[in-house]
Structure 1
Amino acid sequence: MTINKIYDVIIIGGSCAGLSAALVLGRSLREVLVIDAGQPCNRQTPASHGFLTRDGESPAQLLAIAREQLSHYPNVELRAGTVVNAQLTTEGILVTSQPTDGSASQQVIVKKLLLATGLFDIMPDLPGFAECWGRSVLHCPYCHGYEVHGQPLGVLANGEVGYEMATLIQHWASHLTLFTNGPSTLTETQKDTLTQLGIPIVETPIALLDHQASMLTGIVFDNGSRVPLTALFSRVPFRQHTDLPEQLGCELHETGLIKVSEVGETNVPGVFAAGDATTLYRQVSQAVASGAKTGAWINRELLTASLQERVVKLADLDQ
């Protein structure tokens, strides 16, 4: 079924970037529809850090506050559902969504679409890793380093990534170990530097991550030995959370991120992207800023288009 209400913008994704854009557009008097599947990538994280005035709030609390504040704008609608298709038509961008309550699918046509759909992290096949992800297996010291600083920490990585992460994380650790989970691919120069920093390199294959209620207690190796740890820093591969960018023809970087301009424009006219789907800097503050900037630019484009339409109509009247 097609929804009769006319929206200026549809935002797909109701986490930090999407809701930030919705706030800017709502305050710009735009009719906005936010469609959210309720699966933010940081949903396992107990606390978010580094966001001024909200340091230490859980991601769920941040989103609850944002939704409550957006409820005061009658021109912003939040709808629970999953967008299953988006395509360009002569009338605009046709968006098909499936409500989470199991009711019939819904279709809306808009001129502007914002993808704030985030990324999907691909967990390694290592027992305990996924359970601890976002709680004691961490990706970012700026987000979580302070809470575990001065404690025995580990880095799970190899090669150039392992070297870069180890030299970064050592600033927060009382004792840091680099676990390569197999033969090291570090250069001799990198090994020498880590040795000078007092960072041992352990190449023994890992059997599992030992934890209690997702809080890491140690690493257990294939040979049965064990190293106690408070937290482990690691990076995982990722993909787009949805195939909507591909459906629409959005260009991606070789990293898999959506290519956007400084103001969130993709290569597809009328389609914008913001937040984690576009950047490696995956912090709440960055997502909020990205959404706000993109929302403002979308409003600017709508204003420009409206002005052009008025000029054409006035010219027609003069003839």
Structure 2
Amino acid sequence: MQSYDIIITGGSYAGLSAAMALGRSLKKVLVLDSGAPCNQQTPHSHNFLTQDGETPADIARKARAQVAQYPTVHFKNGLAVSAEKTTDGFLLTTSAGEIFEAKQLLFATGVKDEMPAIKGFAECWGISVLHCPYCHGYEVRQTPTGILANGEMAFEYARLISNWTNDLTLFTNGAAQLSEEQLARLAQHGIAINDKEISEIVQEQGQIKHLLFKDGSIHPLRAVYSRPAFRQHCPIPEALGCKLTEMGHLIVDPFQATNIPGIYAAGDATTPMRSVAAAVAAGAMAGASMNKELITATF
């Protein structure tokens, strides 16, 4: 059985950022990654200094190459399936039956989006069906844009997205669940509401052409914003007792520590602010915090 100071589960932006901080701190680290990032079909990453417009895959490839220069950081392709607390730390088991030991665990495993049952949605996700205006809003600014949402979230989302376009329609996909005051505010700002049920997002190579409704009518669009349901990509933290927010994110303190001693988390698994820049920052904080904890335990 191989032993490490820290095992990082998830080798994307938060995990690699933490691995760099720990490698530079001379810690023996294993980065375990299954190779399934949530943004794998997103064509470009934005709002990240020095990397604006780069592909997510290229950013990750460059990051991994840089982290690999630190000899105490090791990489393993694999899927973590379980972990248990021991007297001195944790044992982590992969789907291949391999067992690794570490003093601390960092989960940078992200979330898994659950696509709604609308034909074409999954094909457009991350390309023209978007979740974050800070990541993608500039590229579709002042174009015909939709929001697929209902209720309180729909109102708040519409208010935010109106910053990027004056041609905005809220699609509630059924009876609108908004208050009279909210309806009046949306109308005041020229935001139309369409409550027809959607049959399909008609698209070509992930680019939206129009929405097709169950009554046969269509609505041409360039982009749609949506926040589909999600779940934790990795169930291990919750199985170990880590607490979740009402939304389903892992709860961490400002140093990325969970409520379970020795377990940290960073990246999309911990926050609704899903961006490469935010994940890198959280990973750097986690790495520094974990290193400090290891030093404090022996000094």
Same fold (TM over 0.5): yes
1:196 alignment partner in structure 2: 188
- Larger Rg over CA atoms: 1
Answer yes or no: is 1:246 the counterpart of 2:243: no
Which of 48, 52, 55 is the equivalent residue of 1:51?
Answer: 48
CA distance in 2, matches of 1:231, 1:148: 7
2:111 alignment partner in structure 1: 119
CA distance in 1, matches of 2:177, 2:93: 47
CA distance in 2, matches of 1:168, 1:174: 12
Matches within 5 A, 1:197-212: 197-212=189-204
2:15 alignment partner in structure 1: 18
CA distance in 2, matches of 1:178, 1:110: 49
Q: Which string of whole-angstrom CA distances, capped at 9 and with x for unpartnered residues, describes residues 94-131 of structure 1? A: 01123xxxxx5211111111011101111101101111
Q: Which string of whole-angstrom CA distances, capped at 9 and with x for unpartnered residues, describes residues 152-187 of structure 1? A: 101111111111111111121141111111101111
CA distance in 2, matches of 1:93, 1:127: 43
Answer yes or no: is 1:65 the counterpart of 2:65: no
Is the CA contact 1:129–1:209 (under 8 Å) kept in the aligned structure 2?
Answer: yes
Instruction: With the length of structure 2 as denominator, give the TM-score of the two structures.
Output: 0.98
Gaps of 5+ in 2: none
Is the CA contact 1:91–1:109 (under 8 Å) kept in the aligned structure 2?
Answer: no
Which of 84, 87, 96 is the equivalent residue of 2:84?
Answer: 87
The residue type equivalent to 2:83 in the other structure is A
CA distance in 2, matches of 1:133, 1:256: 20
Which of 245, 265, 286 is the equivalent residue of 1:273?
Answer: 265
CA drift at 1:249: 1.2
Of 249-258 and 11-20, deviating more is 249-258
- Percent of counterpart pairs with the same letter? 53
For the aligned residue pairs, the C-alpha RMSD in angstroms reads 0.9
Report the secondary structure of 2:269's partner residue: helix
Give the ranges of 4+ consecutive aligned residues of structure 1 lying more than 3 Å apart after TM superposition.
none
1:259 alignment partner in structure 2: 251
CA drift at 1:78: 1.2
Report the secondary structure of 1:110's partner residue: strand
The residue type equivalent to 2:247 in the other structure is T
Instruction: With the length of structure 1 as denominator, give the TM-score of the two structures.
Output: 0.92
CA drift at 1:89: 1.5
Report the secondary structure of 1:29's partner residue: coil
1:180 alignment partner in structure 2: 172
Report the secondary structure of 1:253's partner residue: coil
CA distance in 2, matches of 1:253, 1:227: 36
The residue type equivalent to 1:45 in the other structure is T
Which of 135, 138, 150 is the equivalent residue of 2:127?
Answer: 135
2:229 alignment partner in structure 1: 237
Answer yes or no: is 1:286 the counterpart of 2:284: no
Is the CA contact 1:87–1:247 (under 8 Å) kept in the aligned structure 2?
Answer: no
The residue type equivalent to 1:43 in the other structure is Q
The total of aligned residue pairs comes to 299
CA distance in 2, matches of 1:151, 1:264: 38
The residue type equivalent to 1:76 in the other structure is V
CA drift at 1:247: 2.0
Gaps of 5+ in 1: 99-103, 308-319
CA distance in 1, matches of 2:189, 2:168: 10
CA distance in 2, matches of 1:48, 1:96: 33
CA drift at 1:203: 0.7
CA drift at 1:90: 2.0
